[in-house]
C-alpha cells in the first residue's frame, strides 16, 4: 500500500470512529430527551389523576349531602302525613260530635213538640244513621 492509501485508511478509520462516537452521543441525547418527555408525561398524568381524585371526592361529598337532605325531607314528609291524618281524624270527630249535639237538640225539640213527631222522627233517624256511619268510619280510620 502506498503512503497515501495508508493515510487514507487511517483517516477513514478515524472518521468512522468519530462518526461512531457522534452516533453514541446522539443516541444518548435521544434517550435523555425520551426520558424527559416520559417524566413530563408521568407528571401530567399524576396531575390529572390527582385532579380527578379531587373531583371524585367532591362528587362523593355532594352525593352524601344530597342523600342526607333527602332523608330529612322524607322524615319531614312522614311527619306531615301523620299530622294530616291526625287533623283528618280530629275533623271527623268534630263532625260526629256536631251530629250528636244536633241529635240532642232534636231530642229536646221532640219532647216539646210531640204532635210534630213524625217529621222529626224521620230527621232524627237520618241523623242517627249519619252519626252511626261516621262512627263506623272513625273506627275504621282509627284502627
* pLDDT tens series, the chain, 143 aa: 566 777 767 777 788 888 889 888 889 989 899 999 999 999 999 999 999 999 999 999 999 999 999 999 999 999 999 999 999 999 889 888 888 887 777 667 655 665 555 666 677 787 788 777 777 777 777 76
Q: How many CB atoms lie within 10 A of CB 105?
A: 11
pLDDT value at residue 52: 93
* Alpha carbon distances (Å) from 33 to 27, 28, 30, 109: 10, 9, 5, 112
pLDDT value at residue 134: 75
Q: Are the CB atoms for 99 and 134 separated by under 8 Å?
A: yes
Question: Cβ contacts of residue 137 below 8 Å, gap of 6+?
Answer: 92
CA 117, 119, 122, 123 dihedral sign is: negative
Q: What pTM did the predictor assign?
A: 0.46
pLDDT value at residue 2: 62
pLDDT value at residue 117: 58
CA 27 centroid distance within chain? 57
pLDDT value at residue 143: 61
pLDDT value at residue 71: 96
pLDDT value at residue 106: 67
pLDDT value at residue 37: 93
pLDDT value at residue 66: 95
Q: Is 25 left (phi over 0), alpha (psi -120 to 50) or beta?
A: alpha
Euclidean distance between CA atoms 86 and 91, whole angstroms: 9
Euclidean distance between CA atoms 45 and 21, whole angstroms: 36
Amino acid at each position: 500500500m502506498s503512503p497515501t492509501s495508508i493515510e487514507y485508511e487511517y483517516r477513514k478509520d478515524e472518521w468512522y470512529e468519530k462518526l461512531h462516537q457522534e452516533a453514541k452521543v446522539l443516541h444518548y441525547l435521544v434517550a435523555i430527551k425520551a426520558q424527559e418527555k416520559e417524566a413530563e408525561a408521568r407528571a401530567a398524568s399524576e396531575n390529572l389523576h390527582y385532579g380527578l381524585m379531587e373531583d371524585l371526592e367532591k362528587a362523593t361529598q355532594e352525593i352524601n349531602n344530597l342523600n342526607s337532605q333527602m332523608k330529612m325531607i322524607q322524615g319531614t314528609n312522614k311527619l306531615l302525613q301523620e299530622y294530616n291524618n291526625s287533623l283528618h281524624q280530629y275533623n271527623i270527630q268534630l263532625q260526629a260530635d256536631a251530629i250528636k249535639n244536633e241529635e240532642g237538640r232534636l231530642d229536646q225539640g221532640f219532647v216539646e213538640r210531640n204532635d210534630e213527631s213524625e217529621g222529626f222522627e224521620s230527621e232524627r233517624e237520618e241523623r242517627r244513621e249519619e252519626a252511626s256511619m261516621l262512627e263506623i268510619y272513625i273506627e275504621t280510620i282509627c284502627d
